[in-house]
Amino acid sequence: MRYTLLLYTDPADIAHMTPDDWEAEKQVYGAYIGALQEAGVFVDTDWLQPVDTATTLTLKGGSRQVQDGPFAETKETLGGYFVVEVPDLDAAMAWAERCPAAKVGKVEIRASAMGAFE
Amino acid sequence: MAARVSYGRLLAIVVKRSRDITSAEDALADAFTKALTSWPEKGVPDNPEAWLLTVARNRLTDRQRQLTRFPMENEMPDISDEAISKPNLSDDRLALLMVCSHPAISRDLHTPLMLQTVLGIDAKTIAHLFMISPTALSKRLVRAKTKIRDAGIPFEIPEPEDLPQRSTAIFEAIYAVHTHDWLEPSDDLGEEALYLANLLTTLLPDQPETFGLAALIAFGHARRSARIVEGVLVPVEEQDGSKWDQKLYAYGLRQLERAHSLGHVGRFQIEAAIQSVHLARLETGVTNWSALNKLYFALLQIAPTSGALVAHAMVTSRLFGYAAGLQALTVAEKQTGPGFQPLWAARADLLAKEGEQEAALAAYGKAISLTTETPMRRFLEARCLKAGRGTE
């Protein structure tokens, strides 16, 4: 089954990163990606720009409304995700536990709904 | 190792006076930098540690002057000349360890703080070793040190009545260094764990668990060369005993004896005793499963962890048959939950031995899906293949 791990972290934790910080960050996440690939469960990942660059758009209510910022203000925000292909939720949880974001933020695990209603 | 001994010792002395880990670290870093330029030119001073302390002390005083326009004499307690010139520097590392593992500091920061202040390992390396976001860890460590300073966390040895509980926090933080699961064998922190545990035996010689922990870590570290062969994990019973470190084994046994002589059994002592039974195979040629059964029974009374439950079930299978082991695992699952990797690895092994091929393969599949460490996965994959070939 396909699962998406949504990584929620406090943007203040990674504010004002220097190129060295960025390099160290990439190394740690790189090791995690390497472990996922080694196990043959890696599908996709991305690292998102901070939430203050978010734009939220809706047509709900009949008119196009654009909001500068995220749809909801929270202390911990979506900073990136991993998509993994594993047999079940237990396995997805084992990998979420290993994720570098889990130790400083929260990892939300969601199963893919694609094909679930066919 | 010499620089490591110096670093933690010197930092503890500076922190004791400044009560501020960050400024003490900065001052000591300046002192080490200055030594790098000064010593090659002017020669290494007679007492290098005193030299470093003097420079660090001066840096702290300078900084304090910059911060306060009208410095007052007693504002920052100074490091006395006497403290510096003593041939044997005082060892304040126990107080430093107590601060790092203070109950007001988030538990997941105890180990990183210890590695940073006592061993001088930088935050980025710690983050890499423990697979934590380095930027976030650095920020959290800075905040923790600010809290230690501003909240006035005392840089002292706790009262005797609090000592056991406060010591336990230190034991657990050092144990976390020992058990941290690494992706690369080069990231193994066995040496560091052993160093800290051994240090503690000199700092906390009244606590039996100090010696239990040192023994446990020594026994684990003694098997380091036999644990992974060509990238594949080797279970303890199948390890090549000739690769075990005899000196560490002997060291562990001595520590265990010291622990027993203090007459109070604890979790780490029992876990160390369990390891010593495995290692004793080298002398006796066989594993004493009945001794292991008793030890796990005792361990489960005081520390009923999921890992111990599964290990006990495996010992049960040795003594009373695979079916009894499988039954014990079914009972264990009530506590461990169905997502516990060791449970499935154990179950797969026993099902394969029972000849339940289909169920064994399914259990191996489940165990492999829960495995995030490569050497362990390779081991399980090899076993799974073997189980699959069983009835061909």
Q: What is the pLDDT of residues B215-246, one digit of tens each?
A: 999 999 999 999 999 999 999 999 999 999 99
Residue B113 — very low, low, confident or very high, per pLDDT cuts 50/70/90?
very high
Interchain pair A94, B108: CB under 8 A:
no
Q: Who has greater pLDDT, B260 or B62?
A: B260
- Compute CA distances B255 → B197, B207, B262, whole Å: 11, 12, 11
Q: Can you give the pLDDT at residue B184? A: 64
Q: Can you give the pLDDT at residue B4? A: 61
ipTM score assigned to the predicted complex: 0.88
Q: Can you give the pLDDT at residue B343? A: 98
Q: B74 pLDDT exceeds 60? A: no
Nearest to B369 among A27, A91, A97 (CB): A91
Residue B75 — very low, low, confident or very high, per pLDDT cuts 50/70/90?
very low
Q: Which residues of B touch A104 (CB under 8 A)?
A: 132-133, 136-137, 140
| CA–CA dist B39, B44 (Å, integer) | 5
Residue B182 — very low, low, confident or very high, per pLDDT cuts 50/70/90?
low
Sign of CA dihedral B222, B226, B227, B230: positive
Q: Can you give the pLDDT at residue B101? A: 94
Q: What is the gyration radius of the CA atoms in chain B, in angstroms? A: 25
Residue B337 — very low, low, confident or very high, per pLDDT cuts 50/70/90?
very high
Interchain CB contact of B180 with A (< 8 Å): no
Question: pLDDT above 90 covers what percent of chain B?
Answer: 72
Nearest to A86 among B128, B140, B369 (CB): B369
Q: Which residues of B touch A17 (CB under 8 A)?
A: 135
A19-38 helix and B134-150 helix, angle to the nearest 10 degrees: 120
The helix/strand/coil state of A47 is: strand
Mean pLDDT of chain A: 92
Element (H, E) at A46: strand A42-47
Interchain CB contact of B362 with A (< 8 Å): no
Q: Can you give the pLDDT at residue B80? A: 61
Q: Can you give the pLDDT at residue B179? A: 85
Residue B105 — very low, low, confident or very high, per pLDDT cuts 50/70/90?
very high
Question: For residue B45, what are its two tokens?
Answer: 């001073």
Q: Can you give the pLDDT at residue A118? A: 66
Mean pLDDT of chain B: 90
Mean pLDDT, residues B147-167: 91
Interface of A with B (CB under 8 A): 9-10, 12-14, 17, 21, 24-25, 27-29, 31-32, 34-35, 38-39, 86-91, 93-95, 97-98, 100-101, 103-105
Q: A110 pLDDT exceeds 60? A: yes
Interchain CB contact of B232 with A (< 8 Å): no
Q: Can you give the pLDDT at residue B183? A: 58
Q: What is the pLDDT of residues B360-371, one digit of tens each?
A: 999 999 999 999
| Contact (Cβ atoms closer than 8 angstroms) between residue A15 and residue A93 | no
Q: Which residues of B touch A12 (CB under 8 A)?
A: 139
Mean pLDDT, residues B70-81: 53
Q: What is the pLDDT of residues A70-79, one digit of tens each?
A: 988 888 999 9
Question: For residue A58, what are its two tokens?
Answer: 């809706």
Q: Can you give the pLDDT at residue B78? A: 56
Interchain CB contact of B106 with A (< 8 Å): no
Distance from CA of A91 to the nearest CA of B (A): 5
Q: Can you give the pLDDT at residue B18? A: 85
Please, what is the Cα angle at B325 between B323 and B328, to 5 degrees?
110
Q: What is the pLDDT of residues A22-70, one digit of tens each?
A: 999 999 999 999 999 999 999 999 999 989 899 999 999 899 999 998 9
Interchain pair B136, A38: CB under 8 A:
no
Q: B392 pLDDT exceeds 60? A: no
Interchain CB contact of B372 with A (< 8 Å): yes
Q: Can you give the pLDDT at residue B63? A: 79
Characterize the bridge pairing of strands A55-58 and A65-68: antiparallel
Q: What is the pLDDT of residues B274-301, one digit of tens each?
A: 999 999 999 999 999 999 999 999 999 9
Distance from CA of B91 to the nearest CA of A (A): 33
Residue A97 — very low, low, confident or very high, per pLDDT cuts 50/70/90?
very high
If you measure CA to CA, which chain A residue comes closest to B337? A90
